[in-house]
């Protein structure tokens, strides 16, 4: 595939044929299917209920596992000794401390970098091929690697997930997700052409206007918040730097 022209055509055709995002529209993008078989079991019941995006994003059975990430450490990565969990002298919170090599293993939030790839009035989204939220749509984004600038990381993720090239990256949004110890930095980026193709982590890629975005099938709340603000700014043509905090999904006991 040398470009996304056909995808654009298919998206437009799908929107003409459907008043809302549905199975037919998805199949026209060349995806395998958008039935419950392709959605993780934990999401299936929510999906078939045709409920809003917030319901899809907050299945009770998933919140306990996906959102209660533990960073427990048993052994020192340096020397293999069993570590202690204690407050180091002069510190104010417990850390994993190695009693042998004395290393203090600080644990800090991870930075996720991503891009809003722009092309002729539309943005590029990827449909996830991997957990979590397999089958749902998102922006190209992922963890920043060591030795990599934030912008280079964002470009890399765009290539890995959508085989697309972006240039002229401009920082657009910074969101705190303290409940998963993550920080999202999202750039706006102009695509250098409409060439794109699903990478290994994507089932499909496509171009969308605000009206065409599959809002009920956006994978992450932080991405939805980014896109809401982005399209609001598109209406004015002014893109001030956005910041905010994404709250943890409500638990259902």
Task: Select from 203, 224, 205, 225 the least CA-distant residue to 215.
Answer: 224
CB 144 within 8 A of CB 153: yes
Shortest CB 102 distance to Zn ion, Å = 7
Shortest CB 88 distance to Zn ion, Å = 14
Shortest CB 83 distance to Zn ion, Å = 7
Q: How many residues bind Zn ion (CB under 5 A)?
A: 7
Q: Does 41 bind Zn ion (CB under 5 A)?
A: no
Structure tokens at 135: 């089958």
Task: Select from 35, 69, 94, 19 the least CA-distant residue to 179.
Answer: 69
Q: Is the Cβ of residue 9 or residue 101 nearer to Zn ion in the bound state?
A: 101
Q: Is the Cβ of residue 50 or residue 100 nearer to Zn ion in the bound state?
A: 100
Structure tokens at 8: 């654009």
Q: Does 79 bind Zn ion (CB under 5 A)?
A: yes
List 101, 104, 130, 192, residue binding Zn ion (CB under 5 A): 101
CB 156 within 8 A of CB 148: yes
Q: Going by C-beta distance under 8 Å and a sequence separation of 6 or more, which residues neighbour residue 95?
A: 85, 86, 87, 88, 104, 105, 106, 107
Q: Does 57 bind Zn ion (CB under 5 A)?
A: no
Q: Does 98 bind Zn ion (CB under 5 A)?
A: yes
Which of the ranges 52-60, 101-109, 190-198, 225-233 carries the binding residues for Zn ion, by CB under 5 A? 101-109
Shortest CB 96 distance to Zn ion, Å = 10
Q: Is the Cβ of residue 101 or residue 131 nearer to Zn ion in the bound state?
A: 101
Give all strands of the β-sheet with 95-97 in edge-to-edge order: 84-86, 95-97, 104-105
Shortest CB 109 distance to Zn ion, Å = 23
Residue 46 CB-density burial (10 A; 0-12 exposed, 13-18 middle, 19+ buried): buried
Distance, in Å, from the CA atom of 172 to the CA atom of 148, rounded to the nearest integer, reads 19
Residue 207 vs residues 47, 142, 175, 218: alpha-carbon distances, Å: 23, 20, 24, 14
| Bridge pairing between strands 122-128 and 110-119 | antiparallel
Q: Is the Cβ of residue 32 or residue 91 nearer to Zn ion in the bound state?
A: 91
Is residue 64 within a helix (H) or strand (E), and if so which, with residue range?
A: helix 60-66
List 78, 84, 149, 178, residue binding Zn ion (CB under 5 A): 78
Shortest CB 99 distance to Zn ion, Å = 8
**Three-class DSSP category at 41:** helix
Which of the ranges 16-24, 96-104, 142-150, 169-177 carries the binding residues for Zn ion, by CB under 5 A? 96-104
Shortest CB 192 distance to Zn ion, Å = 47
Q: Does 104 bind Zn ion (CB under 5 A)?
A: no
List 25, 29, 76, 204, residue binding Zn ion (CB under 5 A): 76
Residues of this chain that bind Zn ion (CB under 5 A):
76, 78-79, 81, 98, 100-101
């Amino acid at each position: 595939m040398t470009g996304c022209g056909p995808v654009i055509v298919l998206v437009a055709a799908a929107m003409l044929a459907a008043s809302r995002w549905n199975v037919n529209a998805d199949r026209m993008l060349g995806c395998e299917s958008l039935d419950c078989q392709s959605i993780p079991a934990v999401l299936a019941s929510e999906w078939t209920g045709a409920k809003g995006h917030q319901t899809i994003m907050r299945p009770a059975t998933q919140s306990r596992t996906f959102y209660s990430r533990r960073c427990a450490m048993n052994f020192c990565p340096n020397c293999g000794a069993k570590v202690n969990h204690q407050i180091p002298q002069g510190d104010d919170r417990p850390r994993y401390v190695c009693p042998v090599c004395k290393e203090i293993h600080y644990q800090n939030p991870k930075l996720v970098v991503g891009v809003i790839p722009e092309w002729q009035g539309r943005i590029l989204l990827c449909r996830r091929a991997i957990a979590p939220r397999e089958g749902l749509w998102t922006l190209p984004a992922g963890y920043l690697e060591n030795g990599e600038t934030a912008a280079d990381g964002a470009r890399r993720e765009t290539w890995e997930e959508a085989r697309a090239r972006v240039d002229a990256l401009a920082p657009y949004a910074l969101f705190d997700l303290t409940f998963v110890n993550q920080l999202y930095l999202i750039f706006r980026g102009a695509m250098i052409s409409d060439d794109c193709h699903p990478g290994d982590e994507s089932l499909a890629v496509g171009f969308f206007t605000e009206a065409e975005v599959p809002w009920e099938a956006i994978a992450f709340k932080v991405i939805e918040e980014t896109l809401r603000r982005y399209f609001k700014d598109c209406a004015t043509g002014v893109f001030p730097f956005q910041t905010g905090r994404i709250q943890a999904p409500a638990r259902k006991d």
